[in-house]
Amino acid sequence: MTYVTESNITDIVLDRWEAVPDQRFRRIMQSMIKHLHALVRDIEPTEQEWMAAIEWLTRTGKLSNEKRQEFVLASDVVGVSMLIDCINHRLSSEATPTTVTGPFHVHGSPNLPNGADIARGAPGEPCYIAGSVRNLDGKPIVGATLDIWQADGDGHYDAQHGGDEAWMRGVFRSDSTGAFVVQTVLPVPYSIPMDGPVGEIMARTKISPMRPSHIHFLINAPGHHQLITHLFKKSCPYIASDVVYGVKAPLISEFDLMPAGSVTPNGTIAHHAFWMLQYDFVLEPITEHASTKTSAAAQGCLAPGG
Ligand SMILES: [Fe+2]
């Protein structure tokens, strides 16, 4: 029997954790132990620091529920959510890239006809999104579903708004030419929640807690990889410092300000100026090779968040 010393304890623990029948789970646990021991050896925490860490994790867990996920936020601000997204969506360079889902997606948004208004009186400057859903060959994808959600002009999502009706979200379908039109308001930058344990840590840094202006999309079409992404407003000052590292170059989009009297994508004449975003999404088809790769990568992995 070998008893532990500072130098042999990692090997003894790893040896004990060989006793895990599931190969993938064993690999996860042993890697976690290896990296956690390396972290502790690196920083040599005091017992007070270790208790502070446990107390922080406890408060983070207590604050997390079906409406608020503080652990997802913690994963976001250290770039782990984005790293998991990158690993799980290695698509061709011509396909529209993915980014984090974020904590504000609500299931069961209402189905809306093309051109419908998701803002319906919400604060903000009028904005239209018009575009299409296409495959890698540029052919239109008919009947793709586009689940769209965003913050209103005050920076609030449905979950933060508190009303009974759907707020700033809806599900659209691409038409017979692959096109879609959404009426909304201009998204604005917003801060991640700073009133919890993650905010407490961020407040001890000089890192900006802001997310750049963006709109969320979850797009599905049969035979194609699901696309969860955002479109970001090009001129937003927080583009280069997104606190969750979600910005990818092809997702930065020009929002054009159209003067009053311009024709909207719905074919009406606007009485007021409005913002216009044009974007064509490109979905990658699921091939046999890709589906094998995707299921292997997804197996046993933590769910992506953001
Ligand atoms: Fe968002």
Ligand 1 centre from 26 Cα, in Å?
A: 35
Residue 149 belongs to some domain of the structure: yes
Ligand 1 centre from 200 Cα, in Å?
A: 21
- Give the containing element (helix H, strand E) for 173: strand 169-173
Single pTM value for the model: 0.87
Please give the pLDDT value at position 154: 92
What percentage of the chain has pLDDT greater than the value 70? 94
Q: Are residues 280 and 184 in the same domain?
A: yes
Which residues place a Cβ less than 5 A from the ion ligand 1? 102
Number of domains the chain is built from: 2
- Give the containing element (helix H, strand E) for 87: helix 80-88
Ligand 1 centre from 137 Cα, in Å?
A: 30
142: closest CA among 130, 131, 128, 132?
132
pLDDT tens digits, one per residue of 242-266: 999 999 999 999 999 999 999 999 9
Residue 303 belongs to some domain of the structure: no
Residue 65 belongs to some domain of the structure: no
Ligand 1 centre from 188 Cα, in Å?
A: 10
Q: Are residues 141 and 278 in the same domain?
A: yes
Please give the pLDDT value at position 284: 95
pLDDT tens digits, one per residue of 9-37: 999 999 999 999 999 999 999 999 999 99
Structure tokens at 143: 């009947």
Q: Are residues 92 and 219 in the same domain?
A: yes
Domain of residue 13: give its range. 1-44
Please give the pLDDT value at position 294: 46
- The domain that contains 261 carries what CATH number? 2.60.130.10
